[in-house]
A = this chain, B = another copy of it.
Amino acid sequence: MCEANAFLKKKEDTDYTEFLTAVDIVKPTENGLLLENIFGERKIIRAKITGLQLVDHKILLEEE
């Protein structure tokens, strides 16, 4: 499978922590960025995608 794990850096943090594993879909919505993983779990957060390392299965997000 080619999903990736999303890591989030919050405004007050200097480092990234795991936010959602096995992410398939990321798309913008009115309420923020919607992430959905291969198990159907969904999370919405006001953040932007700041980097990808797909061979390492990583999505980097920063809170806005």
Copies in the complex: 2
| Residues of B with C-beta under 8 A to A38 | 55
Min C-beta distance of A45 to chain B, whole Å:
14
Min C-beta distance of A33 to chain B, whole Å:
9
Chain B residue at smallest Cβ distance from A4: B54
Q: Give Cα A3–Cα B4 distance, bound, in whole angstroms.
A: 10
| Residues of B with C-beta under 8 A to A52 | 23, 25-27, 49, 52, 59
Interface residues, chain A, CB within 8 Å of chain B? 1-4, 23-28, 38, 48-55, 57, 59
Which 7 pairs between the two chains have the least Cβ-Cβ distance?
Answer: A26-B52, A2-B2, A49-B49, A24-B55, A27-B51, A3-B54, A2-B54
